[in-house]
Amino acid sequence: MKQIDTYQGKKALVIGFGISGLNAAHLLVKLGAQVTANDMKTPKDPAVVQDLENDGIKVITGSNPLSLADAGFDVVVKNPGIPYDNPLVAKFVAQKTPIITEAELGAEIFAGHLVSVTGSNGKTTTTTLTQLMLAKGTTHRVKYAGNIGVSFSKVAEDLGPDDTLVTELSSFQLLGCPTIHPHIAIITNIFSNHLDYHKTRENYINAKLNITRNQTPDDYLIMNWDKEEWQEIAQRSRATVVPFSRLGKSHDGAYVEDGMIYWRGEEIMAAKDIRLIGPQNVENALAAIAAAKLSGVNNDAIVSVLTTFSGVRHRLQYVMDYQGRRFYNDSKSTDIEATEVALAGFSQPVILLAGGLDRGYTFERLVPYFKKHVKAIVVFGQCKDKMKDAAEQAGIPTIIESENAVTAVPEAWKVSEPGDVILLSPANASWDQFPNFEVRGDKFIEAVEKLTGQKEGN
């Protein structure tokens, strides 16, 4: 941990009691700040509040009092998911009080080699692959943190100047990271996500670009080169741009040509030997390879990781084979693009489980993928009628309505045959029925285990 005096004697407000918020509050105390912690809800576990108070932190729960904006705070550390038009946050915005996220604190105290990953899809897989490659191919400690479910600042506290931290960063986090400066930044892709939060696509792109805002020509921006728009976005960075391309559009970085993966002309391995399925995972592998090669990792370490790693939980995760059917959990597919990519990864007939929160859009874009890949579909959730409409347009012969991702499992099994893939890839958020996509995916796996009498991974 790097010692800084940025917050010494400052009044700091932490809004949100998630894992990152709680860690941020305790870290600010260590950095010499006078800390107040606030959450809209009162924690069910009283030990959470007691732990904060034991550290000298003033705790306010049950609401976000607007009076906090008049308390003279020097800095606000906001949970990334709280929008900037939240009434309390909006008052701080109007006052021009600095508003940061916990990731900014982590970046400020980390003295080692920082690699940061963002993008609309593929962030977690790319982060994990990069961490595994660097850990296998270098001698110092390599950890991951951030939006991957591990507190950035907590991990940064425990690492030294010779260590590497690979961080997954969402657009929500990056909006509150004014000084973050990774030596290697990766943008996996940019679609049109979270526009309810960012309001416009340009705002969303600008949030993503905060990952490279402070980079210099001595740093690297690894960028997906397979769309002209992404190539143009890369030109906004001052970093040295390193492209990756599944379509062989550039040979200046990592790319695929004639089925082989190359790094700047050097053959690495056959793309078909990557254990993860689907073209999106070839892209994720290319991004990770670029980061690994820039960090001095040898090819043996890279190939070892890519031929053995079977996937991140809830992200096109292989669950099991049973009686000739293969089950996959892709609960993280909370948008149409992710489900398009998932379907494109299979040559076998797919029985798709899809549906969830109705955000107002329809699913015509999925029709070509349905026609090519899907033999049967089980729809559920608020948007099941809209998903059913798209399935009917595609001429899917078997369309089944179910309650949720759990009840859909036995329905899918009834219409399956040996050789089929049973895939949960909802194309929608989970919040109409589950607290988050992780719970939805876990419940799906439990349902598969109940159906088959086997444990995950068999």
- The CATH number assigned to the domain holding 284 equals 3.40.1190.10
Residue 18's Cβ-count burial label (10 Å; 0-12, 13-18, 19+) is middle
Residue 306, CA distances (Å) to 129, 145, 190 in order = 8, 21, 24
Name the domain count of the chain.
3
115-124, 262-271, 310-319: which range is least confident on average? 310-319
Name the pLDDT band for 354 (thresholds 50, 70, 90): very high
179 and 108 belong to one structural domain = yes
pLDDT above 90 for 278: no
pLDDT 10s digits, 222-251: 999 999 999 999 999 999 999 999 999 999
Quote the pLDDT of residue 39. 97
Quote the pLDDT of residue 82. 95
Q: What is the average pLDDT across 93-120? A: 98
Quote the pLDDT of residue 287. 98
For the chain, what percent of residues have pLDDT higher than 90?
91
State both tokens at 134.
């660097």
Q: Checking DSSP bridges between strand 254-257 and strand 260-263, what pairing results, if any?
A: antiparallel
215 and 340 belong to one structural domain = no
Contacts of 139 (CB under 8 A, 6+ apart): none
Q: What is the CATH number of the domain that holds 373?
A: 3.90.190.20
53 and 119 belong to one structural domain = no
- 86-90: which pairs have CB atoms within 8 A and are 24 or more residues apart? 88/15, 88/64, 89/15
Q: Are 336 and 427 in contact (CB under 8 A)?
A: yes
Q: Are 45 and 109 in contact (CB under 8 A)?
A: no
Residue 6 within a domain: no
Residue 166's Cβ-count burial label (10 Å; 0-12, 13-18, 19+) is buried
85 and 107 belong to one structural domain = no
Domain end point (choices 308, 327, 355): 308
Q: Residue 39's beta-bridge partner residues?
A: 61
95 and 109 belong to one structural domain = no
173 and 285 belong to one structural domain = yes
47 and 190 belong to one structural domain = no
Residue 458 within a domain: no
- Rounded distance, CA 92 to CA 71, Å? 11
Q: Taking the CB of residue 60, how many other CB atoms lie within 10 A of it?
A: 17
pLDDT above 90 for 196: no
Residue 3's Cβ-count burial label (10 Å; 0-12, 13-18, 19+) is exposed
153 and 216 belong to one structural domain = yes
241 and 364 belong to one structural domain = no
Residue 363 within a domain: yes
248 and 383 belong to one structural domain = no
pLDDT above 80 for 193: no
Quote the pLDDT of residue 143. 98
Site of tokens 């049950």: 62
Domain end point (choices 100, 131, 166): 100
Residue 304 within a domain: yes
Residue 220 within a domain: yes
The continuous run of DSSP H or E covering 240 comes out as strand 240-245
Q: Are 457 and 320 in contact (CB under 8 A)?
A: yes
Q: Give the pTM.
A: 0.84
Domain end point (choices 308, 341, 369): 308
243 and 366 belong to one structural domain = no
φ, ψ for residue 356, nearest 5 deg: 150, -145
Residue 457 within a domain: no
Q: What is the CATH number of the domain that holds 53?
A: 3.40.50.720
Q: What is the average pLDDT across 290-309? A: 97
Residue 131 within a domain: yes
Residue span of the structural domain in which 262 resides? 103-308
State both tokens at 162.
């010779």
- Rounded distance, CA 62 to CA 368, Å? 48
pLDDT above 70 for 174: yes
Quote the pLDDT of residue 312. 85
Residue 2 within a domain: no
- Rounded distance, CA 15 to CA 63, Å? 10
pLDDT 10s digits, 62-91: 999 999 999 999 999 999 999 999 999 999
pLDDT above 90 for 378: yes
Quote the pLDDT of residue 310. 82
pLDDT 10s digits, 422-447: 999 999 999 999 999 999 999 999 99
Quote the pLDDT of residue 458. 67
211 and 255 belong to one structural domain = yes
Cα 187–chain centre separation:
12
